[in-house]
Amino acid sequence: MNIQLYKMTSKKNKTGGLPNYFKKIGCGLILLTFAVAMVIKLSGFLHLEDGSKEIARTIFLDLIILGLLLVTLSKDKVEDEMTLALKLKSMAGAFISGVVFTLFYPFSGLIFNEPLEQVSSTQLIMTILTFQIMTYYGLKRSEAK
Amino acid sequence: MKNTIKVERAKLNMTQQDLAEKIGVSRQTINSIEAERYIPSTVLALKIAAFFNTTVNDIFKLDEND
């Protein structure tokens, strides 16, 4: 019997991406941002002017997007061709979901008799990243059955 | 595409984890290949065949849907 040990990642097939621990950093960043935002909102100890509120809101949303991006870009503990294929599938699905979201979101306001509202870049990016992460882990779970 | 990886593994009394470590993939990938949910790449199929000291054609067979 020909037994050879093949290295988990060969130099030729390096998948790239951030180290696995960035996943925890990304999740931590998202949770921390939510927590701080909720504390500020509920406690009301920080009285912000309208302009400052907008800046704070932008910063919070950008931090959440950054956290989602870190989770998306970080590698799994064990990466191989199947996980790469699942990632590509989830990215394709995320792209399509972004397009569908952009097409239909403006009309969602009509249900509540509100004016049409275009999708902002922040909403679009968050939708794409969230959909990619959910799809990827959903596919992994279905493969594990 | 059908395969006989489970049979080959059983002959050597190996777990999916053992085979995964020897081949250089995750246990999940071996499980998915055996369950015919995932079709391995040419390189991976050749590695599996070489590991079992047999040919790709002996392990992997096309079925009616392919």
CA distance B64 to chain A (A): 23
- CB-based contact A4 B50, cutoff 8 Å: yes
Q: Does A14 touch chain B (CB under 8 A)?
A: no
Residue pLDDT, tens place only, A86-113: 999 999 999 999 999 999 988 887 887 7
State yes or no: ipTM above 0.85. no
pLDDT of amino acid A51: 74
Q: What is the pTM of this model?
A: 0.80
3-class SS string, chain A: CCCCCCCCCCCCCCCCCECCCHHHHHHHHHHHHHHHHHHHHHHCCCCCCHHHHHHHHHHHHHHHHHHHHHHHHECCCCCCHHHHHHHHHHHHHHHHHHHHHHHHHHHHHHHHCCCCCCCCHHHHHHHHHHHHHHHHHHHHHHHHC
- What is the average per-residue pLDDT within A132-142? 91
- CB-based contact B38 A4, cutoff 8 Å: no
Residue pLDDT, tens place only, B22-41: 999 999 999 999 999 999 99
pLDDT of amino acid A119: 86
User: CA-CA distance, A55 to A8, in Å (whole number)?
Assistant: 45
With beta carbons under 8 A apart, name residues in chain B contacting A143.
Answer: 28, 31-32, 37-38
Q: In this model, does residue A13 exceed pLDDT 60?
A: no
- CB-based contact A143 B32, cutoff 8 Å: yes
Q: Give the residue on A whose Cα is nearest the Cα of B23.
A: A6
Q: Which of B25, B50, B53 sits opposite A80 (nearest CB)?
A: B25
